[in-house]
Structure formats: C-alpha cells, structure tokens
Amino acid sequence: MVILITGAYGGIGRDICLSYLKVARELFITGRDPVKLNQLMDELNQFSDVPIHAIPADVNDDVTITNIFQQINNQCKRLDVLVHCAGILTQKSLMMTRLADIQLDISTNLISSIVFCQQASRLMSRNKQGVITLMSSVVANQGSAGQSVYGASKAGVEGLVKSLAKEFGPLGIRINAIAPGVINTELVSAFTEQDKSKLADKTCLKRLGEPEDITPIVQFLSSMGATYITGQVIAVDGGLAL
Amino acid sequence: MTDQIRLKNVFSTALELPINEVDDELKYNADPRWDSTAHMILIAQLESEFDVMLDIDDIIDMSSFHQAKIILQKYNSDLSF
C-alpha cells in the first residue's frame, strides 16, 4: 500500500506511522517542521526497510499540498491510504479569539481536510480504490467551552465525511473519521494535571486516552475487515461522550 | 496509436460511450453519461494515460472533448490531436 500521513510527528500521527510500517509499500509523511519530520523518518527507518518519503509541508499552503501529490504521483502513480492527522487546537473563549486565529483554526482543521480529500481522491480513483481517514473530535458533537472554533472546524470535518462518502463511494473510495476524546498528546499539553484528572473522571474508563488507543482503529478502517464501512465517525473516547 | 485515438479511448472507457460517439460535440452534462462521477473517473484516466496532474481549474474547465484536447496540450505540447 502507498500511504500518506499528515501531521506525522504529532502524538497520534507518530504512532500511526509506526503501525503502518507493517503494511506499507511506500510511506509518505508530512509535517510543518522539517527537523521534527526528519527525526521521525530516522526513527521509522530503524524499524523498517519500507521506503519513507518525508515532505515538509504546511497544510494551509495549497501549492505545497499540490507538490505532495505530484511527488506521490511521480514516484508511485497511486495512493491507497490517506490519514490526515494535521490539526491545531486554540483554547480561548470566543470573545478573546482574533479573526486571524479563527481563520487559522478553520483552515488547518477543515479546509486542509477538504483539499487533501480533493487531491487524494484523484490518485485513488485511478485504481477505483482508496481509504481516507480524517480526524474529528468529541468536541464536534459534545461542545467544549473555550473550543468553539475548534469544535466548529471538527463538526465541519464530520459533515465533509458524510457527503464525500456519497460522492466517493461510486469511485471505490471509502472515507471515515475518528473522533478522539482527550488523548495524551501535545494538543492537551497546556492542560493542568488537575484539568486532566477532571477530564479523566468524566470518561467511563476513568483515564485519558493514549495515541495507541487511536491507531488500531485507523488501521482497521483501511483493512480488508472494513471494506463495507464508509461515512462513519467513530468515537474513541473512553466513553466521554456518554 | 495516435494521441487522438488514445484520447477517444479514454473518453469511451471512462464515460462508457461507444467510441464513435466521442467527438468534438461531446459536452459535460449534455450527455447523461458524462455526469460528475464520470467526470472524476475521466480525469483519473486522463491523468494516468497522459501522465499529467491537472490543475483544479483545468479539471473544472474540461467541459468538452474539444476542451480536453486544448487543456492536455498545455501540459504536453508534443501531443497531437
């Protein structure tokens, strides 16, 4: 399989990269910071002989995005799996959020998802097969004070998944989203230990999630076991949404 | 095989049309078989056959068989239709 993972060196992205080493024929990884991306590539190369292509990219730059897909086309002529992990979380009350921050959140979380789907579907439709997995959040449906723009962007991702499942289905492309709960990654590093403890108490399982809780679901969605699953948003939140 | 025949074959396969119905009069949405889904299949097969990656604007502008020839020649001036 030819696999593209964005936001690759983030907590969830890194774990997903590691898991896909077992099934990838070629692995393309992207992220904004070339140093962190190269560190990840070096780490991945220690575990596998799979060719890994690290492409530094800002998901808000459409020219860069086009270049990613041109590289994939030039080297592989196909794409089987896209996992779009890139995202940001701005933790601010709406009153304290500047327009530029609003636009950045919407662009990074939602518009980039749309553009990556647009580009990926072109390569995938050549072989009438492909699997796209996007990242939503439990906030899309549950809401969270201080995360209104983030929640809006993730709700947009869920709407995108449902419409594209209908649009891409005839082309043999499946698309789903994961809605993680509170996962121990950089995105929640600003939370105090007390906040984390309170959030853990709100889950049925009484703990925060780990990237390893997300990865098996992402991999399952692109496996033969999931060939009849599309248009779904799968909560991986320890029961936080209940 | 000439480029013209290659192009006609792609249109015929992607839009599931007899090859003799592929001509300059063929237009997007004018023929019920060239709908938005068929257009995506057509683009994928054109990109594969002619080894190009089309800009989104060109995908949107590719509204006829005639237009497809003009657009593809932008990417490869050696093509002859």
Tens digit of each residue's pLDDT (9 = 90 or more) over B13-51: 999 999 999 999 999 989 899 999 999 999 999 999 999
How close A197 comes to chain B (CA, Å)? 47
**How many whole angstroms separate alpha carbon A170 and alpha carbon B40?**
10
State what percent of residues in chain B have pLDDT above 70.
100
CB within 8 Å: A122 and B45: no
pLDDT at A181: 94
Q: Other C-beta atoms within 10 Å of A229: how many?
A: 16
CB within 8 Å: A171 and B41: yes
Does any domain span residue A172?
Answer: yes
Does any domain span residue B8?
Answer: yes
**How many whole angstroms separate alpha carbon A184 and alpha carbon A75?**
35
Does any domain span residue A76?
Answer: yes
Does any domain span residue B9?
Answer: yes
pLDDT at A107: 98
Does any domain span residue B15?
Answer: yes
**How many whole angstroms separate alpha carbon A223 and alpha carbon B7?**
35
CB within 8 Å: A122 and B40: yes
Domain count of the fold of chain A? 1
* Chain B positions with Cβ closer than 8 Å to A: 36-37, 40-41, 43-45, 47-48, 53, 55-56
**H or E stretch covering A93:** none
Does any domain span residue B33?
Answer: yes
Does any domain span residue A242?
Answer: no
Nearest by CB: A70 against B41, B53, B56: B53
Does any domain span residue B60?
Answer: yes
- B24: CATH: 1.10.1200.10
Residue of chain B nearest A77, judged by CA positions? B48
Torsion of CA A13, A19, A23, A28, to 10 degrees: 20
Does any domain span residue B56?
Answer: yes
Nearest by CB: B53 against A73, A118, A125: A73
Does any domain span residue B58?
Answer: yes
**How many whole angstroms separate alpha carbon B40 and alpha carbon A212?**
36
Does any domain span residue A148?
Answer: yes
Beta bridge partners of A83: A5, A133
How close B53 comes to chain A (CA, Å)? 7
Interface ipTM: 0.86
Per-residue pLDDT for B73 more than 80? yes
CB within 8 Å: A126 and B53: no
Beta bridge partners of A135: A178
**Partners of residue A163 in chain B, C-beta under 8 Å:** none
**Partners of residue B36 in chain A, C-beta under 8 Å:** 167
**How many whole angstroms separate alpha carbon B73 and alpha carbon B80?**
8
- A72: CATH: 3.40.50.720
Does any domain span residue A208?
Answer: yes
Model-wide pTM > 0.90: yes
- Chain B interface mutation, best of A72, A77, A116, A126, highest count of B Cβ atoms under 10 Å: A126
Range of the domain at B14: 3-75
**Partners of residue A118 in chain B, C-beta under 8 Å:** 56
Range of the domain at A105: 2-236
pLDDT at A189: 79
Q: Cβ contacts of residue A52 below 8 Å, gap of 6+?
A: A26, A27, A28, A29, A41, A44, A45
**How many whole angstroms separate alpha carbon A127 and alpha carbon A158?**
26
CB within 8 Å: A170 and B43: no
Q: How confident is the model at residue B81 (pLDDT cuts 50, 70, 90)?
A: confident
Does any domain span residue A77?
Answer: yes
Does any domain span residue B81?
Answer: no
Q: In order along chain A (242 residues), what is the average pLDDT of each group of 10 residues? A: 97 96 96 97 95 96 94 95 94 94 97 97 94 97 94 98 97 97 84 89 95 97 97 96 84
A·B CB contacts under 8 A? 30
pLDDT at B59: 95
CB within 8 Å: B40 and A77: no
Does any domain span residue A86?
Answer: yes
Domain count of the fold of chain B? 1
CB within 8 Å: B40 and A69: no
